[in-house]
Amino acid sequence: MARVVRTDRELELPRVDAALRAAGHQLTLLRDGAKEEELAAALREAELLLMCYTPVTARVIASAPRLKGIVKYGVGIDAIDIEAASERGIAVANVPEYAEQTVAEGAFALLLALAKKLYPVQRALQAEGWAWPVESWRGLDLAGKTLGLVGVGRIGSSVARMAQGFGMRVLGFDPYAVIPDGVKKKENLKEMLAECDFVSIHCVLNAETRHLIGAAELRAMKRSAFLVNVSRGAIVDEAALLRALLEQRIAGAALDVFSQEPLAKLGHPLRALYAMDNVVLSPHLTFYTQEAMARLEAETLERCLEVLEGHPLTVKSRDPRLRAQKKGVRFVD
């Protein structure tokens, strides 16, 4: 029997939890937003940590002398101090492929909602019973518009295919990816932004991309342009984005991710977004479909069993932070 800790219990993984318990392991579930001290205390005897959003700091890792592996049941690894884990020989892996198409569909759904003004029209319909075709409800065609992708990996490439199906021109900024056919590569981010009617963010969060979209980049966008972010909140300077929206320097935004989650109507620095008709808000759920969650649970359980049975932890991600690990892992392309 091993001790296993899973954070962020609000994101339910019933198959994973049941399988671990059925195998005789002691599973502790911690709430979303668990404090560093709470997580450190729970990990003192644990061999495996499953996490999604809760930060795993160097202090937390130092408090877990028996810890063998950390499995992120999701994609982003910015909340894990991977260097501290590697120094201790603790293997780290994520589940990078379970929702690539799913998130791309979610991003494009948000883009459509912005273009067609679906949310403000729906709110008006609910309040008044009907909405007549006045100018304030006039939407946009996507055909002939220009979409700029910030990050053209698997998710960005899927969004590009969808956009091309709608007759959109697609530009891509990504210094590291191979740009797919039909997407025009742009070497300068601001120059690309200046051409776009819609901008969709699909890069990972790291030191290089934090606040990649800042005040200067937002100023480079057309006043008629929209921003979509389903990647990580901190890729955008959110204070600058809020100012740009309040000052009507861009036409609107659709956001599924935020630096400080959960978003809240009281006390949150972005609370003003709730009142904006040109903003679509989603609670970090573009990944959340039946099919994607089935894939996530199946692969998460595979990674758990590798750690608990003493096998190398499989790393499928190409993220250099994970690929730099030297112990307890095996890499799969």
Per-residue DSSP letter, 311: P
> Is 284 assigned a catalytic role?
yes
> Is 261 assigned a catalytic role?
yes
For helices 14-22 and 290-308, angle between their N-to-C axes, nearest 10 degrees:
30
| Catalytic option among 232, 238, 299, 306 | 232
Q: For tokens 């795993």, what's the residue? A: 56
Burial of 111 (0-12, 13-18, 19+ CB in 10 A): buried
CA quadruple 27, 25, 13, 42: dihedral, nearest 10: 20
| Catalytic option among 261, 268, 295, 321 | 261
CA distance 20 to 39: 19
Query: Residue 42 carries which side chain, given as an amino acid letter?
Result: A
Closest Cα to residue 145, out of 240, 219, 251? Answer: 251
| Catalytic option among 284, 299, 303, 306 | 284
> Is 232 assigned a catalytic role?
yes
List, in sequence order, every residue forming a beta bridge with 92; answer none if it has no partner: 70
Instruction: Say if CB 301 and CB 16 are below 8 A apart.
Output: yes
Sign of dihedral through CA atoms 94, 97, 99, 104? Answer: positive
Closest Cα to residue 73, out of 292, 333, 332? Answer: 292
Joined together, the tokens standing for residue 34 give 């668990």
CA distance 169 to 150: 14
Distances (CA, A) of 304 to 47, 99, 301: 10, 19, 5
DSSP string, 176-234: SSPPPTTEEE-S-HHHHHHH-SEEEE----STTTTT-B-HHHHHHS-TT-EEEE-S-GG
Per-residue DSSP letter, 75: S
List residues with catalytic annotation.
232, 261, 284
